């Protein structure tokens, strides 16, 4: 592949404002244009392509918008070869130059070997790297070492609307011949050392509402004579986690997998410069002092974060108001083998106990808005061995075997519905800034990542 051609195409793709988060017709049109461009590119490679109509997305205000099609594509159907399916998404988070971008987010701009632009690393760059790897075999007039399938969506940043329904429908058709599934939608843990990801945390997102009445109160008229909802809520939120990050909900750690010596050694082997990590994060001090402790608390232990309070006065200035109804928002990142429904019961019981001891006349309601299970894979599966060998070939080093502290629901979804091995092979460096201002992918990562995918096809063919 001529690197210039790849950059030109990435430039064209980044130029499309395929924002799925803001539900407005203009961005939805851009999403349809993005999906059509990708389908056309795959067809020109010789793939059989179906753009599946996903119907309408119903919005909270009663309006509806068309959901961009999901692309199902396949190249090759040789029964003697393994079949690898690549998942990617072509929608992006919102971006506006006025929000702190140093360049126009929709104009791919190279500065010192870094390609800046919204979607460059999340996820247009990796999708194109996979397509470029396939096209390299075509350009050399060589047979693909494996059969390739693609599933590409345009609504990942908005919760993968309608994806699960399609995967369920296609599990015995499109996915029936698939042996392995590859996702490239996260980052390395360092700037120069490649990684393979074999697990992610889940997420249970909670709301706790405390209500006296719908209207707010004047603190001069009512202060001192009622149970204030905000005081109740602050006490509830304060009961969840201590200053060392330990979650105080009884039983919450009961199902967490016990730590083994073998697992500790995997953390020791990972390259992480704590000083560089701390400085780049602009954090004065972490809760833990060693690399191993930090990685374990990011990946293999649950964490609880308090996100905000709805209904509280948060504007500039002084307003002597007592909120009549407030909603606290917090979430727990789950790890194997924590169960979403068990966690929901534990959290609800704990908050009810704390609230009852306050003897408040207010009403409290706890609800779980989101429940996503953690995902973990077997690193001895064939495609993990193939990915390791491909990384050694291209980068000349062993990869970091990492987990991700965030939640990637599609990995768990594919594993549970399709019952195939899933691997995450990230291409981007730790400082790529996915979702934030000045998102980028390094030119080196993009080109070497393309080579990595090509090498991965060859390794998969040998191991299969």
Q: Among all residues, which ones are annotated catalytic?
A: 91, 156
157 is in an annotated binding site: yes
Residue 17 annotated as part of some ligand binding site: no
How is residue 157 annotated by DSSP? G
Strand partners, 334: 202
**Of how many residues is the chain composed?**
464
Specify the 3-state DSSP secondary structure of 382: helix
Under 8 Å between Cβ of 92 and 85:
no
Give CA–CA dist 18/194, Å, rounded: 28
Residue ranges at the known binding site for Mn(2+):
89, 122, 157, 185, 435
Residue ranges at the known binding site:
89, 122, 157, 185, 435
């Amino acid at each position: 592949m001529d690197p210039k051609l790849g950059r030109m195409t990435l430039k064209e793709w980044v130029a499309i404002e395929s924002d799925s988060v803001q539900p407005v017709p203009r961005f939805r049109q851009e999403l349809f244009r993005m999906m059509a461009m990708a389908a056309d590119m795959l067809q020109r490679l010789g793939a059989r392509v179906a753009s599946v109509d996903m119907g309408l997305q119903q919005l909270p205000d009663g309006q509806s918008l068309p959901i961009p099609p999901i692309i199902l594509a396949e190249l090759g159907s040789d029964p003697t070869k393994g079949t690898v399916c690549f998942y990617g998404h072509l929608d992006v988070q919102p971006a506006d130059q006025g929000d702190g971008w140093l360049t126009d987010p929709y104009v791919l701009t190279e500065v010192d070997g870094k390609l800046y632009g919204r979607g460059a690393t999340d996820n247009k760059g990796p999708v194109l790297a996979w397509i470029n790897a396939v096209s390299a075999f075509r350009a050399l007039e060589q047979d693909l070492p494996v059969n390739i399938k693609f599933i590409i969506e345009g609504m990942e940043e908005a919760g993968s609307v309608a994806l699960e329904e399609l995967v369920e429908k296609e599990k015995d058709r499109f996915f029936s011949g698939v042996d392995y599934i590859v996702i490239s939608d996260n980052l390395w843990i360092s700037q120069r050392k490649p990684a393979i990801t074999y697990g992610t945390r889940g997420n249970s997102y909670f709301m706790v509402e405390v209500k006296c009445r719908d209207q707010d109160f004047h603190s001069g008229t009512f202060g001192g004579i009622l149970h204030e909802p905000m005081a109740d809520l602050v006490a509830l939120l304060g009961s969840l986690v201590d200053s060392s990050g330990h979650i105080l909900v009884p039983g919450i750690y009961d199902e967490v997998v016990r730590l083994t010596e073998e697992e500790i050694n995997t953390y020791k082997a990972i390259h992480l410069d704590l000083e560089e990590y701390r400085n780049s994060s602009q954090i004065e001090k972490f809760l833990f002092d060693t690399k191993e402790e930090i990685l374990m608390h990011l990946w293999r232990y649950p964490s609880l974060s308090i996100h905000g309070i709805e209904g509280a006065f948060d504007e500039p200035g002084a307003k002597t108001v007592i909120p009549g109804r407030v909603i606290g928002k917090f979430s727990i990142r789950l790890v194997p083998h924590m169960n979403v429904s068990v966690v929901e019961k534990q959290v609800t019981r704990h908050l009810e106990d704390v609230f009852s001891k306050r003897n408040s006349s207010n009403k409290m309601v706890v609800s779980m808005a989101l429940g996503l299970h953690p995902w973990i894979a077997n690193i001895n599966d064939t495609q993990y061995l193939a990915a390791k060998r491909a990384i050694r070939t291209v980068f000349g080093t062993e990869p970091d075997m990492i987990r991700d502290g965030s939640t990637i629901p599609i990995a768990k979804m594919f594993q549970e519905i399709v019952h195939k091995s899933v691997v995450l092979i990230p291409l981007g460096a730790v400082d790529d800034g996915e979702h934030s201002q000045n998102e980028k992918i390094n030119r080196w990562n993009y080109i070497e990542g393309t080579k990595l995918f090509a090498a991965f096809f060859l390794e998969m063919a040998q191991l299969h």
